[in-house]
Chain A
Amino acid sequence: MDKEQLLKIIELSKKKDHKAFEKLVEHYQSYAFSLSFKLVCNDEDAKDIVQESFIRVWQHIHKFNINTKFTTWLYKIVFNLSLDKLKANKRRKYVAVDTEHVTILFDKLVDADTETDIANKDLAMLISSLANELTPKQKAVFILRDLQGAEMDEISEITSMSKGTVKSNLYYARLNIREKLKRIENIKTLQHEVR
């Protein structure tokens, strides 16, 4: 969908055109699902978040400024709802991390081609095992930057953090994750040597 088409659909949605909005949902729901899934690491919760996000988009679309990037606006809503969900389910462990299974999954990931085909359950486990020691801010910044490819300014807008805070959170997140991945690599090397 090009920018002109998107603006037309948004204008129609502002006039409460259901069909136009349905097109917007069809086009962007997978983007929204991707972010919410990576944040909450749960299929059903991610879908609930996407649904709630689009309801809010519909309710507040009249406030949307056409000079803003639509995905940034949508991501901000998805991000905030995902954080709410994580807070609400603080006590619940989303994914039980099985270290042995995670190592096998990382093996698969290393051997995979550029287009990685991996089951949602396994993807949730991989992300959880990597990000489980991060603070919520570090996790959010890492997912937005390294797993979703958002730009620094966009992350600052989505998370309502200054660019400096985004940078420092990203630094600590990468430091932690790179060290973790190195440990996994070392384990694999050791296992290989033992065999």
Chain B
Amino acid sequence: MKCDNIIMLIHLNHNDELSETEKKVLKEHLSSCDSCRELMESFESTDSIIQKLKNAEPELTYPQVLTSDIMQSIKENEKSSYSMIAIFEMLFSNKVKVLAYSIAICLIGLFAYQQLSIMNKLNQMEKKIALKSDETGELKTTPLIINNKVLKEFVSGIENEQIVLDKSSLDRFLESYKDLKTNHDELLELLNDNIENLEKKLSQKDIQKLKLLLKEDDLERNSSTNL
């Protein structure tokens, strides 16, 4: 083997660093190569310096202080982790769990009750309107939808102050629904039936006006019937 390949083996010729085969190769090469043998011998002095450096252990000053610092840190870490665990345990204690579950069940129940009552009211309202729209008692959904649509637009018109609450404004508004066969009376009837719901949407002032308007209309109608 060439000397270049042997140099690595020379540098690693310490105890368990070389395999048995590598040791054998090195031994054979050194027996026949003076320069490599000289190189290896030259390391003796440098290796003795390294050996002395190995023996020069750094001095650990005040070891008791270091031990005490270590134990102190460990105890402090434990304290902080214990307090974290305590908070965690408190958060997930049975009492807190029961309370949290009860609140959640109550909220879910309340929400479900609200939803059911809203649905119920809507159903009742739609049935009432549908029955009124059909004298024969048969449900007709198309005029209902149209009337509801008209009512919605009318209410949003009042809300946005596009419609003034007087008879002429109503007439103007209903002009645009001529094709849907919606008349003044039908709308007023619808408004009268939904007055409770409208109270939630409109201001008190508007409601007053609307009631007045409906009363006037009723009076007019009654007087015309009497005549």
Contacts and interface: CB of A to CB of B under 8 A. Distances in A.
A37 B61 CA distance: 12
Contact of A109 (B56, B58, B60, B73): B56
B57 interface: yes
A38 B46 contact: no
B20 to A, nearest CB: 14
A34 B58 contact: yes
A108 B46 CA distance: 14
Contact of A146 (B16, B54, B58): B54
A97 to B, nearest CB: 15
Contacts of A182: 42, 46
B52 A116 contact: yes
Interface in A117-162: 117-120, 123-124, 126-127, 130, 145-149, 151-152
Interface stretch (A63-71, A72-80, A82-90, A171-179): A171-179
A22 B16 contact: no
11 contacts: A30-B63, A34-B58, A38-B58, A50-B66, A54-B70, A55-B74, A109-B52, A126-B53, A147-B54, A151-B16, A175-B11
Given A50-B66, A146-B50, A114 B74 contact: no
Contacts of A130: 53
A22 B49 contact: no
B85 to A, nearest CB: 13
B67 A171 contact: no
B1 interface: no
Contacts of B61: 43
Given A21-B74, A167-B17, A181-B49, 7 more contacts: A18-B74, A46-B58, A50-B70, A55-B73, A145-B14, A147-B50, A149-B54
Contacts of B75: 18
Contacts, number: 113
B55 interface: yes
B53 A55 contact: no
Contacts of B50: 146-147, 177, 181
Contacts of A116: 52-53, 55-56
Q: When A and B form their complex, which 9 residue pairs have the shortest distance between CB atoms, in order from nearest?
A: A116-B56, A181-B46, A37-B58, A118-B56, A33-B60, A174-B11, A54-B70, A178-B46, A116-B55
A127 B43 CA distance: 18
A25 B67 contact: yes
Contacts of B46: 177-178, 181-182, 185
A170 interface: yes
A34 B8 contact: no
Nearest to A178: B46
A51 B73 CA distance: 8
A117 B56 CA distance: 6
Nearest to A120: B58
B201 to A, nearest CB: 64
A51 B70 contact: yes
A51, A119, A182 — most chain B CB neighbours (10 Å)? A51
B69 interface: yes
B119 to A, nearest CB: 58
